[in-house]
Structure 1
Amino acid sequence: MLMFPKEHPAYTVLLVDDNPENIRLLDEALRDEYTIKVATRGEKALEIARSMPVDIILLDIMMPGMNGFDTCRRLKADPATRGIPVIFVSARGEVEDESVGFACGGVDYITKPVRFPVVRARLRTHLALYSQERTLEQLVRQRTTELAESRMEILQCLGRAAEYRDNETGRHVIRMSHYCYIIAKAYGVSDDEANLLRTVSPMHDIGKIGIPDSVLLKQARLNVDDRAIIQQHCAIGHNILGTHPSPLLRSAAMVALTHHERWDGNGYPNRLHGEDIPLFSRILAIADVFDALTSCRPYKQAWPLADAVEEIQRCSGSHFEPAVVEAFLRSLPAIEAIHTQYADSGEPASSSSTTYQPVDSTE
């Protein structure tokens, strides 16, 4: 059932006509029900529609300068105004004129001389349709947002599961994902992309679920065979996440596969080099190693922050992209704040760095 809008001035009607008498008559017929805005040229109509909320437009065709058809085409070409219903009001009553009006985006066509009850009825009908369309779009956006949030929550839960499987705490995931966002913003990544990286980064080690406990939980230094087994977690993670059209899952699978690649081409599993490594993984590599350095592990104590920063700088151009290292260094105050805010319970603030495994190990 079509629900008609209430008659109140919340709805704004833009009248576009170069004839002042036509404007006056329409204004008198409609002003008790609607807020009225007026333009006598197509160019002015575009300016008004872009600068303030307009719910519907009554548009003349024969005007000096930009005619009504061209005005409508311009309205429909602009994302900011394309959704506004346009009703043509014209003395041109030929079928060809009506066809052109509908073809360029009009929703209705009224011929002059107008009958005001007809104009009011058409306005009410199209405002009702427009209102319902906007409500539907809002519901779709809400459902889409809810679905995206559910996917994010699932990814974060799986990421935490992988960390607990590796005898690490969920705070590693939190710290590392925040580091990724901070470094990405300093590098010049858009906010949307930086947020996407922050969301998918906890999934980078999901493949460790498939690594045997005898290797994953080994407290001694890993031997060559152990390393070959644990390096399989990249491919395993990619296989777990699979191929999916969602940018969220596609990005998660990509970082799972490539987060151990190195800028100099000596990483794994595919020995990618330089910018062949996805940017998300080049950023994540620094965030992950920095958190590994500054956190306690079964085989080492936490490094002091200054020593960890020095190690990141030392590996610039080999393990890490130099430009990402520079972004990391510019971000140190924010990174240190995250390190403090999400510190593991009982973890010492600093300690000797002599027991650390090299950064090209499984960390």
Structure 2
Amino acid sequence: MFALILDDAVLNNMLMAEAIRGLPDCEPRAFVEPRDALAFVQDHAADISIAISDYDMPGMNGIAFIRAARCVPGFEHVPIVMVTSMDQRPLRREALESGATDFLAKPFEAFEVRARVSNLVALNRARLEQSDRAAWLAREVSAATATIQAREREIVTLLMKAAEHRDTETGNHVARVAGYVALIAEGLGLSSADVSQLSLASTMHDVGKISVPDAILLKPGPLTFDERAEMELHAERGRRILEGSSSLMVQLAAEIAATHHERWDGKGYPLGLSGEDIPLCGRIVAVADVFDALISERPYKKAWTQAEALSHLQAQAGHHFDPRCVTVFCRAMNKTKADGDPAARSAA
């Protein structure tokens, strides 16, 4: 580490360099031209432990040098000592306001220079160590968060594999729904982190269907009243499967599982919630889920066209669906139509 010394008098530079020679992290680098010293700061900001500057110099005085040096990235907190006369109190005030850390009086004593420089360098070293530790902690937190997120994704994958054993279409359906959910969430102005979390959580919206008998789940024709009642239990069962987790993402998935069949007009299930009493996540997934179901071929129906499905959503806005979710989804679908299938944008 370097100790930058700036004085237009070569002799003063030599005396200052001799005074600090041998101090840790204080290899002297002396300059007589402020602009040369500033160029050194710009090239070696991270390698300078302290700067010592005279005030009265031609072209650029010490205060102007300090102001310019403080603007160099990485040099904002490096100690800067200004060498002044004891009777220059107004100058000292201006120097402090410009970014000076401490002062040395002219003529300076070598023992005082060593003591002050040593203390300031030690304080700066402690600051750097604290900064390094903070950066290390941030990296550790980031790594731990990534591990947690990877485990959550693993949970999702395992649950979806279990569901796919019941219905081979499930995996494709949840991936498409996740992409549509992301479109709606982005259109509503959710943060990128919330969009990602919601998109991933939505893949578990139908996990409760693993409890539905094959005779009902795969039935090629309309369901009877009793069969429909059994099918509708999947929302509550999905909530029960997912509830109690310490994971915020799984908690969100439980809420989605329980509410994605609620209707804006209160005629949905299992709780008959209406309007904004339905959690936003459930309202978003309701639109994405129904849209994908409509445009997909099922044992009991042919696939609708995208235009037909969008028209149905718009007709049911304010009845089945949250009008705002329908509006942003239709706008996003029309905007991305030329770019290919937007459902490819999944949580993964």
Q: Shared fold (TM-score greater than 0.5)?
A: yes
- 1:233 and 2:234 aligned: yes
- Check 1:89–1:137 CA distance in 2 against 1; reply closer, same or farther (3 A cut): farther
Q: Does 1:173 align with 2:174?
A: yes
Cα deviation for residue 303 of structure 1 reads 1.0
1-side partners of 2:80 and 2:239: how far apart?
A: 56
Assess, with a 3 A threshold, how the Cα gap between structure 1 residues 277 and 123 changes in structure 2: closer, same or farther: same
Matched, 1:304 2:296: no
Q: 1:179 to 1:204 in 2, by over 3 A?
A: same
SS of residue in 2 equivalent to 1:318: coil
2:277 aligned with 1:273? no
- Superposed, 1:341-356 pairs within 5 Å as none
1:56-78: per-residue Cα shift (whole Å, max 9, x none)? 45499x9859x99xxxxxxxxxx
**Is the contact between residue 207 and residue 238 of structure 1 (CA under 8 Å) also seen in structure 2?**
yes
Give the alignment of 1:35-114 within 5 angstroms. 52-53=73-74, 56=77, 58=79, 114=115
Equivalenced residues, count: 282
Give distance in 2, aligned partners of 1:277 and 1:291. Answer: 21
Pairing 1:123–2:124 present: yes
Superposition map of 1:197-208 within 5 A? 197-208=198-209
Contact 1:293 1:303 in 2 (8 A): yes
Q: Which amino acid aligns with 1:289?
A: V
Residues 265, 319 of structure 2: 8 Å contact kept: yes
Q: Go from structure 1 to structure 2 and tell me whether the alpha carbon gap of 1:274 and 1:124 turns closer, same or farther (over 3 Å shift).
A: same
Cα gap change, 1:170/1:34 in structure 2, threshold over 3 Å: closer, same or farther?
same
How far residue 197 of structure 1 moved from its aligned partner, in angstroms, is: 1.4
Is the 2:79–2:121 contact (alpha carbons within 8 Å) kept by the matching residues of 1? no
- Sort the Cα spacing of 1:340 and 1:115 in 2 relative to 1 into closer, same or farther, 3 A: closer
1:289-310 Cα shifts (integer Å, max 9, x gaps):
1111111111111111111111
Map of 1:196 onto structure 2: 197
Equivalent in the alignment of 1:102: none
- What is the DSSP-based 3-state SS (H/G/I as helix, E as strand, rest coil) of the residue aligned with 2:262? coil
Q: 2:286 is matched by which residue type in structure 1?
A: A
**Residues 236, 54 of structure 1: CA spacing in aligned structure 2 closer, same or farther, 3 A cutoff?**
farther
Query: 1:34 — aligned with what?
Result: 48
Q: TM-score scaled to structure 2, two decimals?
A: 0.67
Cα 1:236–1:8 change in 2 (3 A) is farther
Backbone CA RMSD of aligned residues: 4.0
Offset, 1:239: 1.2
Residue in structure 1 matched with residue 255 of structure 2 by the alignment: 254
Determine the structure 2 residue equivalent to 1:214.
215
Contact 1:286 1:320 in 2 (8 A): yes
For the Cα contact (< 8 Å) 2:219–2:300, is it kept in 1?
no
- Counterpart Cα distance in 2 of 1:55 and 1:146: 35
The alpha carbon displacement at 1:162 in A equals 2.3
Separation in structure 1 between the aligned mates of residue 148 and residue 287 of structure 2, nearest angstrom = 30
Return the letter of the residue paired with 1:332.
M
Partner amino acid, structure 2, of 1:281: G
Query: 1:290 is matched by which residue type in structure 2?
Result: F
Which residue in the other structure is 1:357 paired with? Answer: none
* Distance across 2 between alignment mates of 1:8 and 1:179: 57
| C-alpha distance in structure 2 between counterparts of 1:173 and 1:148, whole Å | 19
Task: Give yes or no for contact 1:274–1:321 (8 Å, CA) kept in 2.
Answer: yes
Moved more, 218-227 or 201-210: 218-227
- In structure 1, stretches of 5+ residues that fail to align are 1-6, 14-24, 69-87, 92-110, 343-363
The structure-2 alpha-carbon separation of the partners of 1:245 and 1:120, relative to structure 1 and needing over 3 Å to count, comes to: same
Q: Could you report, residue by residue, the CA deviation over 1:113-170 in whole angstroms, capped at 9, with x for unpaired residues?
A: 9432333334334423432332232122122122213312422442353255234142
Shift of 1:204: 0.3
| Cα offset, 1:219, TM superposition | 2.2
Native 8 Å contact 1:235 1:257 kept in 2: yes
The amino acid that maps onto 1:191 is S
Alignment match, 1:107: none
Secondary structure of the 2:169 match is coil
Specify the code of the residue in structure 2 equivalent to 1:168. Answer: E
Distance (whole Å) between structure 2 residues aligned to residue 205 and residue 332 of structure 1: 23
Please tell me whether the aligned partners of residues 56 and 127 of structure 1 are also in contact (alpha carbons under 8 angstroms).
no
Determine if contact 1:180/1:198 at 8 Å carries over to the other structure: yes
- Secondary structure, aligned partner of 1:331: helix
1:76-106 deviations in Å (ceiling 9; x for gaps) = xxxxxxxxxxxx8699xxxxxxxxxxxxxxx
3-state DSSP class of the match of 1:118?
helix
